[in-house]
């Protein structure tokens, strides 16, 4: 029997029982809509927290603690690891300061791929820097300005200082770096450290002791960022295996991941109970429909409809209810999502409740699948309907 004919007859009969059909649709909406809201809250909350962690480079930063002794080759090897996004040696923090007027700036090395300077031009040579937002505000500096910068050292009890002019190439957003600082090429920080150690810096014309030929520089620290949030904990374990104590945001990341797992467990428990209830309701509805329409189904059997065709008749009516319920539920969820985000979201781009297109698709498939199986199980009684029952009623 052609599916189109069965579908047409099932739809006409479905419309004739408009009140009963509406009740079955509303019963499903009462199950689907709350589940969509619950999952939307779970996904929106976790995705917003995860996105906030991912977009903040500080969350992926690995900070070595204590004074280490690292070679440039060691740090470069770290940068080649698949779980490392950026690695660069760092000079002594006490030597990495610059004086601009009365303001003391922290100096940090940077290089291509620096997560903090994403989207900003990269300093080149010894004269270009990127200023932090707070430093630029205090100095009233803008990109293109030149800053008269001094570096002091103490030699034999007397204080000496050298000056140089540094050009502001760009200004960091406040959320990227909230302290007074500047980012420059590692070579500038090495030059300042050499000067403060009493060595000469030929590139800047600063006098001092000659640098030993073949002398290998040792760095006390490095700047390192994991490639993804999931790489932070493995990197911490790696450094622990190297007897290196580091500071990470692994605890914050683990808390968000634990929240996601716990919310998922709660959601699936509630969803399982709700779907079981919906299955039972649809199953009972199919049984009742077969009993109520026994005469009509027997007439269809008399007209040559097979058991499979009659079963499809019952299943299709359940699918009509499921499809309409899914559409109404999506509409109700859309209103709830807009209201929840309006009430609770304060940061642009984040969501208190949010669903993707694929989530709607999965929900539709799940509803249609459960409805079809439940209706098929409940409607299997059509196999007992005989054509003779239709003859007696003619």
Judge whether residue 6 has pLDDT over 80: no
Encoded tokens for 268? 């699936």
Q: What are phi and psi of 303, to 5 degrees?
A: -80, 0
Q: Of 6-20, 103-117, 150-164, 179-193, give the lowest mean pLDDT range.
A: 6-20
pLDDT at 184 over 80: yes
> For residue 88, what are the contacts with CB-CB under 8 A and spacing of at least 6?
75, 79, 109, 110, 111, 114, 186, 222, 223, 224
pLDDT of residue 225: 94
State the pLDDT confidence band at 389, using cuts at 50, 70 and 90. Answer: low
pLDDT of residue 295 exceeding 80: no
pLDDT band at 134 (very low <50, low <70, confident <90, very high): very high
Q: Please give the share of the chain, as a percent, with pLDDT higher than 70.
A: 88
Residue 68 scores a pLDDT above 70: yes
Q: What is the pLDDT of residues 208-236, one digit of tens each?
A: 777 665 677 889 999 999 998 889 999 99
What is the average pLDDT score of the chain? 83
Please report which confidence band the pLDDT of residue 394 belongs to, taking 50, 70 and 90 as the band edges. very low
Which pTM value belongs to this model? Answer: 0.70
pLDDT of residue 187: 92
Give the model's pLDDT for residue 299: 66
pLDDT score recorded for residue 171 = 94
The mean per-residue pLDDT over the stretch 288-307 comes to: 67
240-290 confidence digits (pLDDT tens)? 888 888 898 888 888 888 888 888 888 888 888 888 888 888 877 777 776
How many Cα atoms sit within 13 Å of 22 on the Cβ side? 4
Helices 357-378 and 18-55, interaxial angle, to 10°? 140
pLDDT at residue 129 tops 80: yes
Q: Mean pLDDT, to the nearest integer, of 42-47?
A: 80
198: pLDDT strictly greater than 50:
yes
* Mean pLDDT of all residues in 345-374: 82
- Tokens 């008269």: give the residue: 148
CB 62 within 8 A of CB 115: no
- How far apart are alpha carbons 388 and 381 in whole angstroms? 16
Q: In percent, how much of the chain has pLDDT > 90?
A: 29
- CB of 107 within 8 A of CB of 151? no
Choose the most confident range, by mean pLDDT, from 62-71, 287-296, 372-381: 62-71
Can you give the chain as a three-state secondary structure string? CCHHHHHHHHHHHHHHCHHHHHHHHHHHHHHHHHHHHHHHHHHHHHHHHHHHHHHCHHHHEEEECCCCCECHHHHHHHHCCCCEEEEEEECCCCCCEEEECCEEEEEEEECCCCHHHCCCCCCCCCCEEEECHHHHHHHCCCCCCEEEEEEEEEECCEEEEEEEEEEEEEECCCCCCCCCEEEEEHHHHHHHHHHHCCECEHHHCECCECCCCCCCCCECEEEEEECCHHHHHHHHHHHHHCCCCEECCHHHHHHHHHHHHHHHHHHHHHHHHHHHHHHHHHHHHHHHHHHHCHHHHHHHHHCCCCHHHHHHHHHHHHHHHHHHHHHHHHHHHHHHHHHHHHHHCCCCCCCCCCCCHHHHHHHHHHHHHHHHHHHHHHHHHHHHCCHHHHHHHC
How far is residue 316's CA from residue 360's CA, in Å, rounded to a whole number?
21
- Rounded CA separation 237/218 (Å): 24
296: pLDDT strictly greater than 70: no
pLDDT higher than 70, residue 38? yes
Residue 379 is predicted with a pLDDT of 66
CB 48, CB 351: distance < 8 Å:
yes
How confident is the model over 35-51, as a mean pLDDT?
82
Task: Give residues with Cβ within 8 angstroms of 309, minimum separation 6.
Answer: 1, 6, 300
* More confidently predicted of 60 and 50: 60
Lowest mean pLDDT among 54-58, 84-88, 130-134, 136-140: 54-58
């Amino acid at each position: 029997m052609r599916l189109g004919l069965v579908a047409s007859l099932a739809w006409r009969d479905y419309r004739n029982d408009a009140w009963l059909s509406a009740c079955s649709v509303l019963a499903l909406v009462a199950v689907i809509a709350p589940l969509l809201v619950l999952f939307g809250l779970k996904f929106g909350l976790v995705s917003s927290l995860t996105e906030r962690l991912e977009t903040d480079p500080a969350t992926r930063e690995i900070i070595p603690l204590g004074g280490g002794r690292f070679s440039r080759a060691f740090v470069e090897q770290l940068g080649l690891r698949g779980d490392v996004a950026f690695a660069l040696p760092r000079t002594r923090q006490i030597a990495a300061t610059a004086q601009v007027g009365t303001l003391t700036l922290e100096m940090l090395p940077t290089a291509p791929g620096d997560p903090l300077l994403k989207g900003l031009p990269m300093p080149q040579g010894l004269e270009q820097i990127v200023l932090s937002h707070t430093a630029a505000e205090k100095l009233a500096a803008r990109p293109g300005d030149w800053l008269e910068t001094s570096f002091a050292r103490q030699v034999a009890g007397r204080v000496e200082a050298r000056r140089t002019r540094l050009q502001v190439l760009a200004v960091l957003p406040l959320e990227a770096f909230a302290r007074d600082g500047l980012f420059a090429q590692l070579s500038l920080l090495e030059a300042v450290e050499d000067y403060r150690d009493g060595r000469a810096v030929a590139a800047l014309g600063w006098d001092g002791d000659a640098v030993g030929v073949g002398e290998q520089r040792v760095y006390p620290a490095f700047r390192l960022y994991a490639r993804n949030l999931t790489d932070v904990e493995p990197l911490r374990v790696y450094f622990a295996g190297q007897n290196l104590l580091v500071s990470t945001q692994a605890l914050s990341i683990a808390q968000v991941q634990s929240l996601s797992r716990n919310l998922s467990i709660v959601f699936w428990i509630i969803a399982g109970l709700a779907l079981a209830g919906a299955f039972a309701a649809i199953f009972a509805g199919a049984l009742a429909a077969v009993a109520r329409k026994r005469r009509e189904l027997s007439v269809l059997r008399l007209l040559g409809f097979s058991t499979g065709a009659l079963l499809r008749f019952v299943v299709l009516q359940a699918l009509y209810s499921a499809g309409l319920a899914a559409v109404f539920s999506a509409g109700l969820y859309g209103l709830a999502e807009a209201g929840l985000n309006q009430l609770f979201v304060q940061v642009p781009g984040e969501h208190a409740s949010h669903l993707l297109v694929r989530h709607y698709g999965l929900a539709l498939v799940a509803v249609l699948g459960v409805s079809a199986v439940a209706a098929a199980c409940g409607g299997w009684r059509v196999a007992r309907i005989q054509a003779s029952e239709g003859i007696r009623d003619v």
